Amino acid sequence: MTRLQSQGAIASTDGAYRAIINRYQPDLEYYESTYKDLHQHPELSEQEERTSAIAASHLKRNGYSVHEHIGGYGVVGVFKNGAGPTVLLRADMDALPVLENTGLSYASKKEMKDQHGHTVPVMHACGHDVHITCMMAAAELLHAARSEWNGTLICLFQPAEEFAAGAQAMVDDGLYSKHGIPKPEIVLGQHVFCLYKAGTVALTAGPVFAAVDGVSIRVFGKGGHGSMPQDCVDPILTASHIVVRLQDIVSRELQPGKLGVITCGKFQAGTASNIIPGYADLELTVRSYDTKIQTQLLGAIERVVRAECDASGSPQPPRLAYFSHAPATVNDADSTKTLGTSFAAFFKGNAGPFEPIPGSEDFSVLARAINVPSIFWGLGGCEPAKWDDANKRGALKEIPINHSAEFAPMIEPTLKTGMDALALAALTFLDP
C-alpha cells in the first residue's frame, strides 16, 4: 500500500480532519454572496473571463502562486508547503445556453453570443457555480490550515467543460510542462447533483461517468421540387432511416447489460415544405463506460450511415466528423477506498454510494495525461424535505436535474458540504 493509499485511513478515524476543518472554517456568508454573484453572472464555455478573474484574484489573496490563461481561461493556484505529496483539486467554471426558470431572486438574466455568433440566454444550469464557490472556500481553508499539513496543493479552475474540451486544452497548452505546474500524485473533483440530498456526498470506485463522442453527419441528396420526388434523392428520408437504424446498434449489437447510448439530438434539413433539400445534417452523442464498447459503437455508426446512404442512392458519400471527446471517468479503486474511509468517518450517515450515470466529464483527462489516479464524487444539492417527499411518492424524476432551466441547488448545506469534502479529500492525501 502506498503512502497516498494508507495515510487517510489512519488520520480519518481519530477526528483529526474534523478538528482541522472546523478550526479553520472561513466565513460562509461571504461564500454565499460569492455564489449568488457567480450565479447571476454566468459565462459560456471558452468565455469565462470574469469568472476566471474572480478565481485568480481569490487565490492570490490567499497566498497561492497563480497561473492564468492556460488553455483559454484556465486558472491554476499552487501552494507549496514543504515536502510531501502533490494533490490537485479541480473545479469547472462554464455555464450553459439555457433560459433560467427558477424564480430565484438571484436568477441569471444574462445573454451572450455563443460560438456561432448567436445571442443566447446563459445559466449555471449544471452547478458549476457551486463547484467554483466550494473550491474557493476550500482553498482559503487549506491555506489557513497550512500548519496542519505538508505537501503541495494545486487548485485548478477549468474552462469549457461543457464542450468536453477544457481539460485537454489545458494539458495541450503545457499545463504540466511550460507553465511549471507540479505533476500531482492524485487528481480530485466533485459534481453537484439534485439526485442526492443537500448535505450528502456520494462516492463509488470504478466507472462513474461515461465516455462521450460527438458525431456530426451530413447526408447528401439530390434536391428538387417536393411534388417530384421521383426525380430527387431525399436526404431527409435517408437521414430518418439512419436515426431509426442507429437504435438497433445498442439493442442488437451490444451484449445485454452493457451500457451504450446513441442519441440524435440535432436534425436539420430543408428550407420550405415544397423543396427537397440537397443535404441533411445530424448530430449524435455516443456514450459508454468502456473504451472497447465506445470504439464498437463508433464503428457501427459509420457502417450504418454509409450503408443507408448507399441504399438510398445518395449522389456522394456522407461526411462524418467527430467532436467533444472525453474518456470515461473511472475512480481508482485503492484511492477511492482510502477516501471512502475519510468520508464515512467525517460525514457519517451522509456519505453513501454514487450511482454511475451516462453523463460525461473531461475531468479525468487531467489525470490520464500523466498516468495518475483520480477520484470524482457526487455532492448532494436537493432540499432534503423535497427529496424525501418525491421519493415517498416514487416521483424523484420530478426534481429538476442538471441542464434543466429549473435546476436550483440548495445553497446551504450544499456549499459547506462541498467545501468540507474538497478540504477533507486534500487532507486525506497530503502529509500530516
Position 379, amino acid: L
Marked catalytic residue, from 94, 162, 308, 361: 94
- According to DSSP, residue 349 is labeled G
Question: How far is 92 from 135, CA to CA, in rounded Å?
Answer: 10
Question: How far is 21 from 38, CA to CA, in rounded Å?
Answer: 25
Question: How far is 185 from 146, CA to CA, in rounded Å?
Answer: 19
Marked catalytic residue, from 46, 100, 129, 161: 161
Question: How far is 98 from 320, CA to CA, in rounded Å?
Answer: 28
406 is catalytic: no
Residue 76 CA, chain-centre distance (Å), reads 18
β-pair type (74-81, 151-158) = antiparallel
Question: How far is 57 from 50, CA to CA, in rounded Å?
Answer: 11
| CA-closest candidate to residue 51, choices 92, 99, 80 | 92
Question: What is the grid cell recorded at 71?
Answer: 488553455
Helix (H) or strand (E) holding 29: helix 28-40
In a 3-state reduction of DSSP, which class is residue 399? coil
94 is catalytic: yes
| CA-closest candidate to residue 211, choices 297, 89, 125 | 297
Question: What is the grid cell recorded at 430?
Answer: 497530503
Residues recognised as catalytic: 94, 161
